[in-house]
Chains A and B, each alone.
Chain A
Amino acid sequence: MSFGYTSKKLLYKNLSLTIEGGSIYGLLGKNGAGKSTLLKNMVGTLFPVEGEILINGKSPKKRQPSFLQTIYYIPEDVFIPALTIKQYKNLFAPFYPEFNEANYYKYLDELEVKVDGKLNKLSFGQQKKFIIAFALACNTKVLLMDEPTNGLDIPSKTQFRKLIASIMYDDRIIFISTHQVRDLENMIDNVIIVDNGDLLLHSSIINISNKLCFKTVSEIPANAKILYKEPMLKGAAVVMENINKEDSKLNLEHLFTGVTENPALTKEIFSAN
């Protein structure tokens, strides 16, 4: 598909992407890279100018109820009307047939969202946690989250990661967009990196670990394909091609910087068998 806010300048041109069920995708990109735009195209609040997006065989552009009740989108800024927790559930939950009331209160409890009055009086972070709890309780097959950890304190981010891991099932797709890459560590199993509308990387964590090695070296090996290097007190932290099939711990921040700075080398490493 192609998309642009004006017909003359396209943000995404001929983007081709296949998302598989049962995965948590991390959509990474700098500010203004087009992450939110991609999510909006997926949920149907923006339409591609060319091509088509299909989610479980349905076109988001049509915004059919049968499609919308299987997808929940949490935008970066959330909107909460002047309702209580119970009123919100009573008004919005009936639109989602798989909504689970017990889980709703459980998630609210786990995220420590407690309010007796109207939800719109809550802080931004609390509102965001409320919407996350509601979205998870809706049990939709697809869950799209745009910068969900923005505004969350450190304990809430930890709780968020635990919750996401606990609600995953076989054919569910969770898509999390963020520029705070550390928030996604140990949570996602697929990485998509976009920049200026280009898809720089789309790979599983397993494949990334097979292709790349993340380590600290005292000297940069000669002739190694270095995707990223960062000088440290003793040596340098590097992301390099994993030619010796070493096991290493993925560093999303280093991966992201390396991929956005060296898209050509990324393509070369990931296209090699």
Chain B
Amino acid sequence: MNDIFEFKRFGLLFKKTITERYVQLIGITGLALAATLVIYSAVLYFTGGMGRNLAQNLSFVYGIIGGGCFLGSVIFGYFNTNASGAAYLTLPVSAFEKWFCGMLIIGVLFPSLFLVFYRLIDSCFVLFYHNGLNKNDPRYKDMYDAVQVYAFNNNFAKQCVLIYANFASAMMLGSLYFNKVSAVKTALVYGCVLALLYFLNLIIANLLFHNVDSAFPFDAVFIKVGNDVGILGLPDAIANLVQLAIQFIIPGILFLTVFIRLREKEI
């Protein structure tokens, strides 16, 4: 018997995970998708149809990050009681299979489902908008071009996916450290860490420069020059390294720590 990975055993675990906790898993996913639709519609409604780009961005960021964070916090949420924790830890599957099951849901299934759903509602809204335009209007082409289906490869969407990877992995890890109300506790810890980094950066920037306006964590310091604010960025090579850390290294370490913690978890 392979004690690390077997397809049949993994299949059983995956089926058990979804069936046993369908209310939580499918419920949160459904809520995230519903919230996306509501935010999109609400922004359109309150801006009188003028804030289409805002609607696209807001619904995308809240849908994927909000849904992903909540889902991440329940994926290993078996440890709020000793009984369910013990049942999970003593289930005859490997720690790798448990981790991989969580990764599959957080890293593949939820984002895929979200993107498909998002593309569907976005296409409907955009189509509805395009069909509603007066083709005889002299501004028709400009108005038509101004609203397009949301491009998943735009910079904002890419940043959202990065934040999703960082936050969802932190939430998964938090649920293995905090047995009760892990989402709130992890969010507090994560917030404190980000605040600490921000102020630490600001203090260091103030020691090095005069007239510091603000210092964004990791890669930029904003300095007041007269009435203007100038940006002092990192050299390209180091800036790329910081981006690499945010994009891959930090979430990678967090996801790896989830596996280690799951293997070493005691209850």
Q: Which residues of A contact B (CB under 8 A)?
A: 40, 43-47, 62-66, 68-69, 71-73, 75, 77-79, 81-83, 87, 91-92, 94-96
**B89 and A66 contacting across the interface, CB-CB below 8 Å:** no
| Contacts A64-B94, A95-B12, A95-B93 known; 19 new A-B pairs at CB < 8 A | A46-B266, A47-B264, A47-B266, A62-B3, A65-B9, A65-B92, A66-B1, A75-B86, A77-B82, A77-B83, A78-B83, A79-B84, A81-B20, A87-B19, A91-B12, A91-B15, A91-B20, A95-B9, A96-B92
Contacting pair B86 A45 (CB below 8 A):
yes
B3 touches A45 (CB 8 A): no
Interface centre among A40, A65, A66, A95 (most CB of B within 10 A): A65
Question: A96–B1 Cα gap in the complex (Å)?
Answer: 13
Known: A63-B95, A94-B12, A95-B91. A83 touches B20 (CB 8 A): yes
A68 near B266 (CB under 8 angstroms)? no
Give per-residue flags for B8-24: 1 if the beta carbon is below 8 A from chain A beta carbons, else 0.
01001001100111010
**Contact A65:B1 (CB < 8 A) given known A77-B82, A83-B20, A95-B12:** yes
Instruction: Kindly state the separation between the CA atoms of A52 and B158 in the bound complex, as whole angstroms.
Output: 48
Residues of the B chain whose Cβ atoms lie less than 8 Å from the Cβ of A96: 92
Size of the chain B interface, CB-CB below 8 angstroms: 29
| Docked pose: A44 CA to B94 CA in angstroms | 13
Most buried by B among A47, A69, A81, A82: A81
- CA of A96 to CA of B91, assembled, Å: 9
Residues in chain B near residue A83, CB distance under 8 A: 19-20
Instruction: Confirm or deny: B267 has a beta carbon within 8 angstroms of a beta carbon on chain A.
Output: yes
Q: Which residues of B contact A79 (CB under 8 A)?
A: 81, 83-84, 86-87
Q: Chain B: which residue is nearest A81 at the CB level?
A: B20
A82 vs B93: C-alpha distance in the bound complex, in angstroms? Answer: 21
Q: Which residue of B lies closest to A46 (CB)?
A: B266
Instruction: Check if B85 is an interface residue, CB within 8 A of chain A.
Output: yes
- A residues within 8 A CB of B155? none
| Chain A hits for B84, CB < 8 A | 79
Query: A75 near B83 (CB under 8 angstroms)?
Result: yes
- Does A45 lie within 8 Å of B85, measured CB to CB? yes
Asked whether A71 lies within 8 Å of B90 as measured between CB atoms, the reply is yes
Chain A residues whose C-beta falls within 8 Å of the C-beta of B264 in the assembled complex: 47
Q: Known contacts A65-B9, A73-B90, A95-B93: does B266 contact A45 (CB below 8 Å)?
A: yes
Chain A residues with Cβ below 8 Å from B266 are 45-47
Contacts of A46 in B (CB 8 A): 266-267
- Given the complex of chains A and B, what is the CA–CA distance between A91 and B21 in angstroms? 12
CA distance A71 to B9 in the complex (A): 17
Whether B89 contacts A63 by the Cβ 8 Å rule is yes
For the complex, what is the distance from the CA of A72 to the CA of B92, rounded to whole Å?
Answer: 10
**Once the chains bind, are B90 and A45 in contact (CB under 8 Å)?**
yes
The smallest beta-carbon distance between B10 and chain A, in angstroms, is 11
